[in-house]
Structure 1
Amino acid sequence: MAYTLYPIRNIARITIEADSPLSISSGEKSPLTDAPVLRDVHRLPFIPGTSLAGVIRHALPSEELQQTLMGWQSPTGGEGSRLIISEAKILDSRGRAVDGIAPIEEDPLLEAYSTLPIRQHARIGHRGATEMRGKFDEEVVLKGTRFCFDMELISSAEEADSSDEALLRIIDTIDSDLFRIGGGSRKGFGKVRVVRALHRRLDLRQPEELSLYLAKSSCLSAEWEGFAPYTPREIEERESDRYLLTLRPVDFIFFGSGLGDCDADKRYVTEQQIVWEGDRATIVDAEQMILIPSSSVKGALSHRTAFHYNKQQGIAADNLPEGAVIEDYIGQKNGAVALLFGTAGEESGEGCSRGHVLFSDVLLKRPEAAEDHVFNHVRIDRFTGGAVSGALFSEKSVYAAEEEITMEITIDKHALESEDRDRVCGALSALESAMKDLCGGMLPLGGSVMKGNGRFYGSITKNGETIYEYDRA
């Protein structure tokens, strides 16, 4: 029998489901969007193994474990990764992975991926208007989409038990709340959960296990009798604060889609969702869903956090230090915003850092009591009192008063441990004050907020304890 340094093979097949839309960008541009989704030979979205390897390595708890499992390199030497990860392929409506280059069967779920939603974004300045060159869009994969991928961890006989535990730990980590895949992980994208996990440890020194290993196909759609089911365990995650905002709209909400319809020039955004019952998937039509993009919530909270942080420091627009300008205390130049929400840095890439506040998009089933309403607007000439030619337009908002909306915000406090303690406490206090403004109706969300849309009231729960509740009396 041939000798191998790593006779132990820990194999796992993981099926994940997108709990929020995914942004798996191809890095290219198209006539339709600034950031199209990466697609395979069948023109279906997929997740590259390199993307999975990167987020898994970053999620491992220690640098020593990262180097042991996924390799290292230095000027004097290096070692390759022991963890082998395949691409993550999409599942069809029957729960089968679409892998290989053979023509695929017609499937209503797969047909839906030919045209994916395009999210519109606009960077809003401190004056409440879109900033120059602040408009962009990106294509996203639908919430509820399922992907399947394989992992294999090789190890020596002496490390058999520890490597087995390490692979199971990776599966547990993928199922954790702080794990995100793809881009936009700090603005509501990338949250996943494990819906199915299969696992097996093989010793290639045993003839029957070697035969079983050789019989395993690399095709994700092929079944393999060697797998046994595994249920992910709840792990002790890095220190974090979890806020749960329970909101109720006062009346109308309007999160613009950037497009109109047959009734109005501008309408609120909706989005399809995939819903699974067992191994069968169905598509919920966009008209049955209401979307509250986390990017809108993040932007509003970021600006209000800057206000409260400046207030703590005694900074006001009419009371600036000598030689200072407003721009020195807003956006990513604001201490709290830079610390919690990250910075873009310079064009060279220096000085950039990602945020430590995680959001998740809110995609809720349209309530039966919700009603669409078209508001007609016209600009009046201030001198004649008549309508300005060409200035008539309409907006379609949704009336959803008293409908309960739950929004989750997580702060990765472990990533803030190296920062100045006083600065962290001040920034977190400013963020909590901004959340209270939101739940008290003082911070509207979405578009047309100066026309009465987007006001909410509600309560805030921090790590299971209620810290604020708006009293409507």
Structure 2
Amino acid sequence: MSLERLNRHQRPIAKRIIVRGRLILDTPTCLGSGDADSPTDLALLRDSISDHALLTGSSIAGALRNYLREYEQGYGKEEKKTDRATSLFGGTRRNTSLFGGTRRNDDGEQSPLIVNDAISSKIPTVELRDGVEIEGTTGTAKKGQKYDLELLAAGTEFSLCFELLIEQKQDPREQQNYEDRLVKSLALALRGLELGEISIGMKKRRGFGRCKVKTWQVWEFDLTQNEKRSKWLLFEHWCTELSPEHETYSSIATALGLSLDEEEDKRDRFFLEATFKLASPLLIRSGQDSTGCAPDVVHLRSHRDGELKPVLSGTSLAGVLRHRAERIVNTLNQSEKMAQKIVNDVFGFVDENSKQAKASRLVVHESVIENTADLVQNRIAIDRFTGGAYHGALFSEQPIFGSDETRLTLELELRQPRKAEIGLLLLLLKDLWTSDLPVGGESSIGRGRLQGIEATMKRQIPGKATQTWKISQDGEHLQVSDANTLEAFVSNFVGR
């Protein structure tokens, strides 16, 4: 082998920064292992030694890299081969400088950030969720499209550990600029975890994988100094837990001694947060009898704060919204092709024939339903020919019932919104608000209807002040702030 091929680029390291944090899951999370022999369609990824849940460093790095790219460039921007980290004063992409070159760039720089695998603090509580694809025209389940998932329960904790390697440059001014930009890029990426804006695992846009880091610790080692170099060599690198003897911070910017602003945020987003109460019983079937009770069908529950609470899943709500959106665009005499395009642009699609796919731009979060009551109802199937009861067809169900104190908050986020798409979301909100659009199952017997209480909408446009609108129900009267602007969004959708 020639000496030229053996001549590799060596990185003289001037400083190392170690960051630790404690990640807590806010919603169930799907970290699939890809095990084809599992009894479920998608089994949980576990550590082979301890049987604890495993969150790989590559998954963490990918989520951080994607967040940093969207934060700096906006949604829908792909990484280019020319996005290199060679320029230190200006056009450097933060995601490239922090995480290295793209896979398509054979000459790309190596990542200066080391991301460790994270193992859950204890053997996790596991939830099983069933899913099924619904045929839009018939409203029934597609044959062979039922699946089940193994999920980590909310509240599961992971210990995160990062190590940033800062190279030694020849020019002192260049060194300071390079170090400041690299550390700030790391702070921006980790702040996404701190604010809960980064989700992990599968089905992130349907409410799964929401997480947050509340505690940080930082160690800084200047390797040009003998004392600091010795401390780094004696540091407990094998441990990723927070140290009880080291200072903790709630803000990563404070921990790194930085001041972060929002000027670089290029994400264009529309938020909708609406609070409802139950106008009728609600039943979303759980995949298994999670409560250990006798009823054949029990409403879906999820672990929150150490107890099982009823939830409205993001997958169920997204399916309901998509089906109603199709009805709305078809009612407005849109051509079938145009109507399908509008819905696909917002909710995403997968075409098995053409092998094309597009991710949803609408993020639908999972919602906890507070202050509910459980009652068991017995039902029986009727023979339509005789009008009598089917033999052996007696079954029991346990939906949830609401009261005046029952509250359910729906959270939606539309990325890269167009005015017409915001108008479509407002029409969907109107149908939910007036109990015209039921959620969950057995809507034909009056279940799943909501009644609106209040809603807040925000439009975040890069470089502009955030716009806010509010809607509230005051008895029989509806209070709307800046109704003309909201009506203009709907008119834009109707007139397209």
TM-score range, shorter chain: 0.7 to 0.9
Residue 253 of structure 1 aligns to which amino acid in structure 2? L
Q: Aligned-pair distance for 1:376?
A: 2.1
Change (3 A) 1:232 1:222: closer
What does the per-residue CA deviation read over 1:29-63, in whole Å, with 9 as the maximum and x for residues that have no partner? 45531111111121111210010111111111255
Q: Say whether 1:411 aligns with 2:414.
A: yes
The aligned amino acid for 2:107 is: G
Q: What secondary structure, in the 3-state scheme, does the structure 1 residue paired with 2:276 have?
A: strand
| Higher alpha-carbon deviation: 355-364 or 241-250 | 355-364
Gap change, CA 1:375 and 1:472, over 3 Å in 2: farther
How far does the alpha carbon of each residue in 1:73-129 deviate from its partner, in whole angstroms, 9 at most, with x for none? 55662321111100122124xxxxxxxxxxxxxxxxx3xx2x511011111222211
2:363 alignment partner in structure 1? 358
After TM superposition, the structure 1 stretch with the greater mean CA deviation from structure 2, 460-469 or 335-344, is 460-469
2:258 is equivalent to residue 256 of structure 1: no
Query: Aligned residue for 1:279?
Result: none
Unaligned runs of 5+ in 2: 1-9, 74-82, 84-92, 169-174, 254-259, 459-467, 478-496
Q: 1:52 to 1:385 in 2, by over 3 A?
A: same
Aligned to 2:7: none
* Alignment check: 8 A CA contact 1:69 1:82 kept: yes
Match runs of 1:134-145 below 5 Å: 134-145=145-156
Which whole-Å CA distance do the structure 1 matches of 2:197 and 2:409 have between them?
A: 18
Deviation of 1:4 after TM superposition, in Å, equals: 5.6
Q: Give the TM-score, by structure 2 length.
A: 0.77
Relative to 1, partners in 2 of residues 1:307 and 1:470: Cα closer, same or farther, differing over 3 Å? farther
Contact 1:460-1:469 at 8 Å conserved across structures: no
Per-residue CA deviations over 1:403-427 (Å, capped at 9, x if unaligned) read 11112111222xx6xxxxxxx3323
| 2:277 is the counterpart of 1:271 | no
**Distance in 1 separating the partners of 2:298 and 2:39:** 19
Q: Answer yes or no: is 1:210 the counterpart of 2:210.
A: no
- SS of corresponding position for 1:358: strand
Does the aligned pair in 2 maintain the 1:13–1:148 contact within 8 Å? yes
**One of 323, 332, 344 as aligned partner of 1:303:** 323
Residue aligning to 1:106: none
The CA distance in 1 between the partners of 2:348 and 2:408, in whole Å, is: 27
Q: Give the partner amino acid of 1:345.
A: D
Instruction: Tell me what 1:223 maps to.
Output: 243
| AA partner of residue 134 (structure 2) | I
Identify which of 53, 63, 86 aligns with 2:61.
53
Q: How many percent identity over aligned positions?
A: 26
Q: Are residues 229 and 384 of structure 1, via their aligned partners in 2, closer, same or farther at CA, if it must alter by over 3 Å?
A: closer
Is 1:340 aligned to residue 346 of structure 2?
yes
Distance change >3 Å, CA 215–CA 444, structure 1 → 2? same
Matches within 5 A, 1:281-292: 283-284=306-307, 286=308, 289-292=309-312
Instruction: Please name the residue that 1:79 is paired with.
Output: 109
Q: Which residue of 1 is the match for residue 79 of structure 2?
A: none
Secondary structure class of the residue paired with 2:158: strand
Q: For the residues of structure 2 that align with 1:258 and 1:74, how far apart are their CA atoms?
A: 42
Amino acid in structure 2 at the alignment position of 1:453 = R
- Answer whether contact 1:10 1:167 (CA < 8 A) is retained: no
Aligned position for 2:314: 294
TM-score normalized by the length of structure 1: 0.80
- Amino acid corresponding to residue 432 of structure 1 in structure 2: L
Among 136, 139, 149, the residue aligned to 1:128: 139
User: Per-residue deviation at 1:455?
Assistant: 0.4
Structure 2 partner of 1:419: none
- Structure 2 partner of 1:166: 185
How many angstroms apart in 2 are the aligned matches of 1:31 and 1:74? Answer: 34
Q: Distance in 1 between matches of 2:99 and 2:345?
A: 30
Change (3 A) 1:5 1:78: same
- Structure 2 letter corresponding to 1:240: R
Which of 444, 462, 466 in structure 1 is aligned with 2:438?
Answer: 444
Is 1:255–1:447's contact at 8 Å kept on the other side of the alignment?
Answer: yes
CA shift, 1:311, in A, is 3.4
Q: CA RMSD in A?
A: 2.5
Alignment CA distance shift 1:30-1:432 (3 Å): farther
Letter in 2 for 1:81: S
* Count of aligned positions: 413
Structure 1 residues 385 and 304, CA gap change in structure 2 (3 angstroms)? closer
Structure 1 residue matching 2:302: 3-state secondary structure = coil
Task: Specify the code of the residue in structure 1 equivalent to 2:205.
Answer: R
- Alpha-carbon deviation of 1:222? 7.2
Q: Give the Cα–Cα distance (whole angstroms) in 2 for the partners of residues 383 and 76 of structure 1.
A: 71
With over 3 angstroms needed to count, the CA separation of the structure-2 counterparts of 1:129 and 1:354, relative to structure 1, is same
Contact 2:65 2:189 in 1 (8 A): no
Tell me the secondary structure at the aligned position of residue 263 of structure 1.
Answer: coil
Q: Aligned AA for 1:71? A: G
SS of residue paired to 1:229: coil
Contact 2:214 2:250 in 1 (8 A): no
Cα distance in 2 for partners of 1:430, 1:306 equals 10
Indicate the residue corresponding to 1:455 in structure 2: 449
- Identify unmatched segments of 5+ residues in structure 1: 93-109, 276-282, 316-320, 417-423
* Residues 392-445 of structure 1: per-residue CA shift (max 9 Å, x gap): 2221111113311112111222xx6xxxxxxx3323321221122112101111
Distance 1:297 1:74 in 2: 38
CA distance in 2 between counterparts of 1:222 and 1:456 reads 44
